[in-house]
Structures are given as structure tokens and as C-alpha cells.
């Protein structure tokens, strides 16, 4: 009983010490996985995806994504990311981000994206997932849901890196984010693109384009996402704040 009590106490202490806050929104998060572990897992998963899917040979698209992504990353305030931006040869309008700053956009996304401001909507959203540590939060939720209290053996010094890294890879590649995280990424990404000098009003146009393209029908980029109309309404409510940031960055418009 004493040893069980000590283990429970250690688990409680770890949970209490694992409380974090998302940027911009201040939402409370439970994160049980370290950034180093998630970054290692993200890099490994990124290499796997590139080897399986293939990189687009369109140099103009590659440069465009790298330029817009780097500009947004600079205003995100993330200090420990090693940013990489790539276009994957895939006709599905999709994009994803992995912990550590690995961001990919499918070539099919350019059937929907009409300009760099709309591309900034996509990249701002994905960079926001990294900034808010959504991958680590999702991995932590999975650990708890799957009886992950055993993984809290970290508090007692048990070597759990392999288990945690495997969980992080699974989350990064296959498990969808929650609607809360998706809405949060929309909000954070909107502010990032505005601060980087991209017109936040184009975020609404982008989602209207996605709706017209039938984007709500199961595209990976929209898994568990709010409906197009719901997110458009929320973006409209956030627009005064985003426009103020855009004007402060040198943009124009009322």
C-alpha cells in the first residue's frame, strides 16, 4: 500500500506539474510528454511520410510554401522548432504539421488556395498546432485514456521514452485533433498570419473556397474540424482583433 501510495502521489505531482496554457487563448492544457520527446517523434514521422508520399517536383510551389511558412513562423514566438516546409505530391487538399516544426502541404491544396494570403491561412493554422503543442496534448490524452497512468512511471524514473515516442508518432500521423484544438488553431493561426502581414480577411475566402470544393466531405485537413460555416462565423467574430494586428504589421483595410 505504501509503494502504491507513493506511486499515486508521484503521478498526481506529475499531472499537477504538467499543466500548461495555449498561446493567445490561454486555455489550460494537460501535457505529460516533453517537447524533446515530441520533437524526436515528429522528425521521425516526417521522414516516414516523405519517403512514402513523395515530394513535389514543383520548385515554385516549394519556394512559395517555404517563404510564407517561414514568415509566419517568425512571428509565432516558437524558439525550439526546426522549421521545415514541404509540398507533398498528393491531389487531396490537405496539410499537416508535426511537433518540432515539420509542416507539409499537399499539392492538391493549390486547387483551393488562390493567393498567398489564403496559403497563409493554411500555414498559420498548421503552425498554430505546433505553437499550442496540440500533438503533445493529444498524446497525453491518449495516454490517460488508454490506462496511461503506467506511463506516469516517468515520475519514478522508469524508462518510457520508446513508449511515449511511439504514442507521439501515432498521434502526429493518424489521430485527429479535437474540435476544440481545431478552433483554437484557427484563432491562433488567424492572429499569426495577420502579424506576418497577410490579410486575415482572406481566411474567410479560403474556407468559402473549401466549402465550394466540397471540403467538408472527409478531407483529412477537415477531420473533426468545425463545419465550414461554423468556423467562418467564428473567424468573422475574431476579425476586428485580427485586422488591428494586420494594420499594425503594415497592412491596410478597415
**Residues annotated as part of the active site:** 126
Largest CA distance in the chain: 66
Residue 81 in 3-state DSSP? coil
Query: Could you tell me which residues come within 8 angstroms of residue 238 by beta carbon, excluding any fewer than 6 positions away?
Result: 187, 190
The span from the CA of 156 to the CA of 136, in Å, is 20
Residue 55 in 3-state DSSP? strand
Query: Could you tell me which residues come within 8 angstroms of residue 8 by beta carbon, excluding any fewer than 6 positions away?
Result: none
The span from the CA of 16 to the CA of 249, in Å, is 38
Cell of 165: 515516442
Amino acid at each position: 500500500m505504501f509503494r502504491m501510495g507513493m506511486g499515486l502521489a508521484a503521478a498526481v505531482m506529475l499531472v499537477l506539474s504538467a499543466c500548461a496554457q495555449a498561446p493567445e487563448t490561454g486555455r489550460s492544457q494537460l501535457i505529460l510528454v516533453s517537447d524533446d520527446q515530441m520533437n524526436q517523434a515528429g522528425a521521425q514521422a516526417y521522414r516516414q511520410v516523405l519517403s512514402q508520399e513523395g515530394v513535389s517536383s514543383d520548385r515554385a510551389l516549394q519556394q512559395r510554401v517555404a517563404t510564407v511558412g517561414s514568415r509566419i513562423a517568425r512571428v509565432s514566438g516558437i524558439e525550439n522548432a526546426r522549421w521545415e516546409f514541404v509540398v507533398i505530391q498528393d491531389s487531396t487538399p490537405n496539410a499537416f504539421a508535426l511537433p518540432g516544426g515539420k509542416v507539409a502541404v499537399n499539392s492538391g491544396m493549390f486547387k483551393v488556395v488562390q493567393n498567398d494570403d489564403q496559403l497563409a491561412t493554411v500555414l498559420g493554422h498548421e503552425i498554430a498546432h505546433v505553437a499550442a503543442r496540440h500533438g503533445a496534448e493529444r498524446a497525453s490524452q491518449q495516454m490517460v485514456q488508454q490506462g496511461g497512468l503506467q506511463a506516469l512511471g516517468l515520475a519514478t524514473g522508469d524508462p518510457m521514452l520508446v513508449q511515449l515516442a511511439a504514442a507521439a508518432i501515432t498521434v502526429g500521423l493518424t489521430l485527429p485533433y479535437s474540435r476544440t484544438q481545431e478552433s483554437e488553431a484557427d484563432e491562433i493561426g488567424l492572429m499569426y498570419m495577420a502579424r506576418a502581414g497577410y490579410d486575415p480577411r482572406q481566411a474567410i475566402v479560403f474556407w468559402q473556397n473549401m466549402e465550394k470544393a466540397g471540403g467538408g466531405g472527409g478531407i483529412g485537413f477537415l477531420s473533426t474540424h468545425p463545419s465550414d460555416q461554423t468556423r467562418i462565423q467564428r473567424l468573422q467574430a475574431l476579425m476586428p482583433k485580427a485586422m488591428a494586428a494586420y494594420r499594425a504589421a503594415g497592412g491596410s483595410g478597415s
